[in-house]
Amino acid sequence: MRIGVIGTGTISSAVVESIAQDGHQICVSERSAANSARLAAQYDCISAAPNQAVLDQTDTIFIALMPEVAAKILGTLRFHSGHRVISFMAGVSMDVLSSITAPAHVEAVMLPFPNIAQKGSPILVRGNTGTIKTLFGGTNSIVELANDTDLAAYLCAQAVLSPAVQMVSDAATWLSGRVEDAHQAQGFLRALVGTNLLGAECAPLLTALDTPGGYNQRLREHMVKQGMRTDISDGLDALENG
């Protein structure tokens, strides 16, 4: 495919890296100069160009702008009817984006995560999944969302990733102060949490970890008493309600 990328931030750079060796020709926006220059220097199939030049030489367009500047930037560009647009912007509806990028065809909103560069990442998709499955489905899990209500709910719930990482990071800092190898300490905790969550659904995993008087049970009960579960639900409610 001939793929163009408007907005080359951290997430879109990871997306580009995930498919950079799959035989595509990729042109990335110069808007994020450091990222676009690094990608173009690292991969022969990637070039960097101004936004309009990106559109002029590609057919499948990833748009990864901040929602508040999307209309201003995209409104100055010329799209054509052969463009297939995939948006990474959850804050801009497909209908609004279609009006801005007409006569291009907006296929989907796609929400990738940083680990997509290493493969095996979930990808949230609202809309037509055909192109996304072709590009990413072989090495990642595509989570198809039925409607905008689902998209909004998943968008809130995915925010659990940051506090979960913070929790592991804090535990790693605590452990690192008590053992010889700090790097090994964090690696152990990351593998512990990641592999166990991938290996079992939450309810049976919690049951397996619920040895009476065991360390896991005692720490969880301590954190629940401190309001952990209420904090999570209240935080998600606050995100949902704006």
Supply the DSSP string of 32-77, one letter for each residue: SHHHHHHHHHH-TTEEEE-HHHHHHT-SEEEE---HHHHHHHHTTS
Residues 121 and 168 in one domain: no
Q: Do residues 74 and 138 both lie within one domain? A: yes
Q: Say if residue 165 is in the same domain as residue 89.
A: no
The answer to whether 8 touches 16, Cβ cutoff 8 Å, is yes
**Domain of residue 47, residue span:** 2-145
Q: Select from 120, 145, 170 the last residue of a domain.
A: 145
Task: Confirm if 66 and 41 have CB atoms less than 8 A apart.
Answer: no
- 141 CB-contact burial (10 Å; exposed 0-12 / middle 13-18 / buried 19+): exposed
This prediction has a pTM of 0.91
Query: Which CATH number do you get for residue 64?
Result: 3.40.50.720
Average of pLDDT values for 164-185?
98
Task: Identify the band that residue 234 occupies on the pLDDT scale cut at 50, 70 and 90.
Answer: very high
Q: What percent of the chain has pLDDT over 70?
A: 100
Q: Check: CB of residue 109 under 8 Å from CB of residue 85.
A: no
Same domain assignment for residues 191 and 130:
no
For residue range 35-47, what is the model confidence (pLDDT) as tens digits? 999 999 999 999 9
Residues 122 and 207 in one domain: no
Q: How confident is the model at residue 242 (pLDDT cuts 50, 70, 90)?
A: confident
Task: Note whether 24 and 125 are same-domain residues.
Answer: yes
Residues 21 and 124 in one domain: yes
Asked if 193 and 84 sit in the same domain, the reply is no
All residues at 6 or more sequence positions from 172 whose CB lies less than 8 Å from its CB, including other chains: 182, 185, 186, 189, 190
188 and 130 part of one domain: no
- Average the pLDDT over 178-199 and give the result: 97
* Beta-carbon count within 10 A of 223 CB: 13
pLDDT at residue 33 tops 90: no
Same domain as 11, residue 111? yes
Are the CB atoms for 6 and 30 separated by under 8 Å?
no
Residue 189 falls within a domain, yes or no?
A: yes
Residue pLDDT, tens place only, 73-122: 999 999 999 999 999 999 899 999 999 999 999 999 999 999 999 999 99
pLDDT of 31 above 90:
no
Q: Is residue 154 part of a domain?
A: no
pLDDT at 173: 98
* Exposed e or buried b per residue across 153-175, where buried means at least 16 C-beta atoms within 10 angstroms of its C-beta: ebbbeeeeeeeeeeebeebbeeb
The SS3 of residue 232 is: helix
Tell me whether residue 151 is in a domain.
no
pLDDT at 27 exceeding the cut of 90: yes
Does 129 share its domain with 165? no
What's the mean pLDDT when you consider all of the chain? 96
Pick the last residue of a domain from 116, 145, 174. Answer: 145
Does 153 fall in a domain?
Answer: no
How many degrees, rounded to 5, is the angle at CA 130 between CA 108 and CA 69? 20
Task: Give, for 176, the enclosing helix (H) or strand (E).
Answer: helix 161-176
Based on the domain organization, do 104 and 51 belong to the same domain? yes
Number of domains in the chain: 2
pLDDT digit string (tens) for 117-171? Answer: 999 999 999 999 999 999 999 999 999 999 999 999 999 999 999 999 999 999 9
